[in-house]
Structure 1
Amino acid sequence: MQNERNSSDPEVVISRTRDIDGRPVFDTHLTPTEDTRTKVIETKLPAVIPIVFLPGIMGTNLKNKKTGNAVWRPPNMSLNLADILGVVAALATWGIRGPKQRQQILKAEDLTVDDGGSIDVGESGLAKETARKRGWGSVLRTSYNPVMGLLEARTSRIVANRTLQGWWSTEGLRPPGDYGEETGQPPLTEPELMKAARYDFDVWCAGYNWLQSNRKSAEDVRQYIENTVLRHYREQKPPVPADKVILVTHSMGGLVARALTNLVGYEKVLGVVHGVLPATGAPAIYHHMRAGYEGPEQLILGSNAGEVTAVVANSAGALELCPTFDHRDGQAWLFLQNEPGEVVMDTEGLPCAFPRAGNPYDEIYKNPAWYGLVPEPNTKFLNLSEDLSNYEYAKAASRSTFEELIDQVARFHRDLAGQYHPETYVHYGADGSRPMHSWQDIVWRGNPNAFPTSAFPASDDGNGSYRASNNAPALTAARGQGDGTVPAFSGEAPRDAGVVASFRHGSDGAGSENADRKGYDHQGSYNDPRARWATLYGIAKISQLADWHSSEK
């Protein structure tokens, strides 16, 4: 207090915090009589731009609709004891569940969002109760709460005492090109940030049922924004202006956002920031359905083709992550090669590179051949219900249901192709040196004499190889630029579709912040300062379109 009294500063700005409902409050206290400086409370007329975060696939906690019991809570990866015990429990639970149990438990129609997960408010300044009201407990904490806390903190400290603050006064004014921006966007200006600072930015989170179609999830998110987010401000006394939201997405959440604005036609979105969006799908989903997941994730997400197929082949949302008809402009991404790496020919003399005619739905996803997404022997995993009195009929029926689902996926892809909100900002990973490959291509490699044209006589081991003989076809890692899941071909597609800004991050990106720096892992992309910079830049730019503050009228 002594230092404060001796200061030559003529004013003391009272710090602002939040109450349990998230409203701004000011923490004041009595000062000694000799402290004659002016005490200033910087208030502003209330107006809010809600930021709504949409997580990626498997990032939302799910519970059973009827019982309310938690069904899907992926373990948080941190070193605190509770999280370590959570990882052990998850491994013990999912490690013993085979394809049938997984299919029975993870049915889209039986599940809904579970908002009871643990919360980390981080540097947000929010009470846990406030963060829970805003949906922060509905998602994987360690992946998403930190970036939500950072967005809350930084957007609440843009201006103080009529001066740009902290990060915004230095890093925030840097040229976007330093961070790999590809369309030539200009830096933020001080007037733009002053305008943005008129508004409060409240960070919400919209978890969704990632097993159902992304179109259905978009309808659910629309209801959440209307009936929870915007309703919150309408019911304040007096009501607080909050006309539209900014969406910030991770991975599959971007497909939900695009469906919301371009298919559902929801108009209360001011703009969108997409992170690591699989804009035209990701071949990695093929790998997982044929070989299971890799690394520690396999114990929970599935260690072989049966465990993954039993769930994913019945999930419209997951299948919508498959490469689209226009992925890489329709070029092939699935190859059958001989041991030296040359594409082999089929019996008609055509190269075994698929899709050949821009139709992966018939050529790969529905195809029961040994290299198809669900080869004939794996049909048994499509429906593992007890009623198998007529096994052949049951197989045919389950195959037909699966093909109808693929037709639905194809319609979704075609309806959404090239469609983005007019105010869209994206950032994606483009690193070719990461230890984890991005499955840019899917390659089956082996002895060409072992390649059949339709059926294959040997058993598939469910982990990406056949056991007929030595040098039988096996999946081979095809490294390429990306983030370990989404290849750069898919990440850069929005740029070519004409979005406002596109940030390419990693050793294959331009700008000083990419120089001599590798990219980021897909799931942890929002832990990278480049992704966070691009997100804050997009939020500040999009906020220029807001017009519901009283000073704008």
Structure 2
Amino acid sequence: MTLLTENEVVVLPEYDTQGRPYYNIPNARADHNLVAVCPKVADKVIPVIFLPGVMGTNLKNGKDKRIWHANLYQGVDALKWIKKGAVERKLLLDPANTDIDNDGFIHFNEQEGTMFPSREQRGWGTALFKNYGESLHILQLMLNDGHILLDNLFHGTRRLTTRQQLIGEKLGVEQAQKEEQCLTEPEVRHSYDFLFPLHVFGYNWLQSNAESATRLGDYIAQVLGMYHGRLAMEKVILITHSMGGLVARHYSENMGGRENILGIVHGVMPDLGSPATYRRMKTGERGIVGAVIGPNAEALMPVLAQSPGPLQLLPGTAYGPGWLKIQNGNKIESWPVSDPYSEIYLNKNDWWRLYDAGISGGRPEVEWNKFEKIITNKVKNFIEGLSNKYHPQTWIFYGASEKKPSDEYLIWRERQFQRPVYGRPILQFPTYRQATGKTFELTSSGSPGDGTVPVKGGKIALHQLRGSLATDVDHEGAYNAGNIAMGGTLSVAMKFTLYSVVKMVREVPPCG
């Protein structure tokens, strides 16, 4: 850092309504010989777009009535769903009658002033605040912290930005055929040649991810149009959570969108799917999520059966055989043998089938026909059409912790049926099924993962990636920043996300 002389005064930039920097030069007498130091700042933009996971976007119905929001502490405003029955849930959570809602709570809407459009204009209100509110705020601060460098110049301090703190730090990133390439000082310095406005692409997670990918293409065009004349290049960076990664990949690899994307960071993406989707269909879901989509099979199964998006998280052919096991006495059957669609998803006869048509009181044959069309035309085509396809600039982090047991495979075990003890609080009853005069309980393998996606479903072959990081993140909170407000350190997942962005932009030519 160059020290200022006595007659030099630093003039910090301001931004006009178009987001362009300018300097207000102070008036001074000529004989004072003052020199205005106007530090050059980045003015070229590389937009970053965040894609939430399943249930991560606020939804409303056609009458603009809120359907799915979680703005209050710990999502307590979602607890109103506890009183809703299976039929009402199915009607409210209908992909044909719901739409994206941009009316969610936003941290510090005008934080960036006129440098960028407001956070609301950048789609932040579509993201579920409970899951993403703080994370988006922290991520934007990390991507837009050039003011720290200006403050150092103005005050003569040496405060390090998050990017500078990462220089030389080993995060444990795996890279094909070479050791981890830590961030270097020239790479970090080059990243400050650009501005990174953070946008959010909320999508209707009940609908097919292929439909959401089409809308993503429209949204990317809209975002690029916002920065006409300010773009460093006609490309965006995508950061995805869970199912959002499938939306991004489908747009990039199956819809010709690759040319509009500089690179993608995927967090806990179910690359090959996860047996957890089968488990949810048969058992319901826990916690706040379960309160909305259903705490048991009777409430949840009818919702998922009409929703292509969540069904596209089922294991595809590439996941491999044998992830569903039935223990009957000393005999163990393993399914699928080769085709999960015909053997499990479209199986109407075996008691361990995926879908029990008519479970909520509808006409079984009518509901089965609808479900069959969704699996055949939307789920299978999407999953198999996306297999083994990735953007050439792909970076991923995935859960690989034994402390986050996940469903690498599932087992229906023969059990003696035991009723719950009266008066004992139980948050989730085991799922039992009566078959052939016996009782079976669905249990999990408890394999390493993120609590939802096992390592087998989330890890991608290294030769297809720029970088990969195994972490101990929780699936839902994968982008939690860490307890930094209490003086803690930034989470390794957030560090990796910033690391990946810096590595991507080193290939972007410096602005003039």
Could you tell me the TM-score, scaled by structure 2's length?
0.84
Cα distance, 1:154 vs. partner?
2.0
Asked if structure 2 preserves the Cα contact closer than 8 Å seen for 1:320 and 1:412, the reply is: yes
Cα distance, 1:43 vs. partner?
3.2
Change (3 A) 1:523 1:411: same
SS at match of 1:481: strand
- Is residue 2:366 matched to residue 1:397? yes
After superposition, where does 1:435-474 map in structure 2 within 5 Å? 437-446=405-414, 464-466=431-433, 472-474=439-441
Aligned partners of 1:167 and 1:299: how far apart in 2?
A: 41
1:263 corresponds in structure 2 to 254
Q: Which one-letter code corresponds to 1:302 in the other structure?
A: G
Cα distance, 1:147 vs. partner?
2.5
SS at match of 1:95: helix
1:420 corresponds in structure 2 to 390
- Is residue 2:464 matched to residue 1:498? yes
- Aligned match for 2:39, one of 31, 39, 42: 42
Q: 1 or 2, which has the higher strand percentage?
A: 2
Q: Which one-letter code corresponds to 1:366 in the other structure?
A: L
2:485 corresponds in structure 1 to none
Asked if structure 2 preserves the Cα contact closer than 8 Å seen for 1:428 and 1:491, the reply is: yes
Asked if structure 2 preserves the Cα contact closer than 8 Å seen for 1:233 and 1:241, the reply is: no
1:541 corresponds in structure 2 to 503
Aligned partners of 1:20 and 1:308: how far apart in 2?
A: 48
SS at match of 1:195: helix
Asked if structure 1 preserves the Cα contact closer than 8 Å seen for 2:204 and 2:212, the reply is: yes
Change (3 A) 1:239 1:479: closer
SS at match of 1:204: strand
Aligned partners of 2:205 and 2:463: how far apart in 1?
A: 26
Q: Please list the CA deviations of residues 242-274 of structure 1 after superposition, one character each: whole Å capped at 9, or x if unmatched.
A: 511000000000000001101111121110000
- Aligned match for 2:95, one of 86, 108, 125: 108
SS at match of 1:101: helix
Aligned partners of 1:56 and 1:471: how far apart in 2?
A: 38
Cα distance, 1:160 vs. partner?
3.1
Asked if structure 1 preserves the Cα contact closer than 8 Å seen for 2:431 and 2:442, the reply is: yes
Change (3 A) 1:425 1:469: same
Change (3 A) 1:169 1:111: closer
Q: Please list the CA deviations of residues 270-311 of structure 1 after superposition, one character each: whole Å capped at 9, or x if unmatched.
A: 100000101011111111110111234322231110211111
SS at match of 1:352: strand
- Aligned match for 1:207, one of 199, 202, 205: 202
The farther-off stretch of 15-24 and 255-264 is 15-24
RMSD of Structure 2 on Structure 1 (CA):
3.5
- Is residue 2:293 matched to residue 1:312? no
Consecutive unaligned residues of structure 2, counting only runs of 5 or more, are: 417-427, 483-490
- Aligned match for 1:153, one of 133, 141, 150: 141
Q: Please list the CA deviations of residues 357-391 of structure 1 after superposition, one character each: whole Å capped at 9, or x if unmatched.
A: 2x1111111113211111xxx2104884xxxxxxx
- Aligned match for 2:352, one of 371, 381, 398: 371
- Is residue 2:172 matched to residue 1:179? yes
Cα distance, 1:75 vs. partner?
4.7
Aligned partners of 2:110 and 2:445: how far apart in 1?
A: 40
Q: Which one-letter code corresponds to 2:345 in the other structure?
A: Y
SS at match of 1:130: coil
SS at match of 1:219: helix
Cα distance, 1:23 vs. partner?
5.6
- Is residue 2:465 matched to residue 1:524? no
Q: Which one-letter code corresponds to 1:531 in the other structure?
A: A
Aligned partners of 1:12 and 1:218: how far apart in 2?
A: 50
SS at match of 1:427: strand
Aligned partners of 2:371 and 2:463: how far apart in 1?
A: 31
Report how many residues are paired. Answer: 479
Asked if structure 1 preserves the Cα contact closer than 8 Å seen for 2:78 and 2:288, the reply is: no
- Is residue 2:214 matched to residue 1:248? no
Asked if structure 1 preserves the Cα contact closer than 8 Å seen for 2:51 and 2:238, the reply is: yes
1:73 corresponds in structure 2 to 69
Change (3 A) 1:119 1:23: farther
Change (3 A) 1:39 1:438: farther
Change (3 A) 1:143 1:13: farther
Asked if structure 2 preserves the Cα contact closer than 8 Å seen for 1:252 and 1:277, the reply is: yes
- Aligned match for 1:198, one of 177, 182, 193: 193
Aligned partners of 2:23 and 2:59: how far apart in 1?
A: 37
Aligned partners of 1:167 and 1:51: how far apart in 2?
A: 19
Cα distance, 1:489 vs. partner?
0.9
- Is residue 2:115 matched to residue 1:131? no
Change (3 A) 1:196 1:398: same
Aligned partners of 1:68 and 1:173: how far apart in 2?
A: 47
Cα distance, 1:188 vs. partner?
1.8
Aligned partners of 2:511 and 2:210: how far apart in 1?
A: 35
Aligned partners of 2:7 and 2:162: how far apart in 1?
A: 24
Aligned partners of 1:28 and 1:153: how far apart in 2?
A: 28
1:362 corresponds in structure 2 to 342
- Aligned match for 2:455, one of 478, 488, 495: 488
Could you tell me the TM-score, scaled by structure 1's length?
0.78
Cα distance, 1:323 vs. partner?
1.0
Aligned partners of 2:7 and 2:449: how far apart in 1?
A: 53
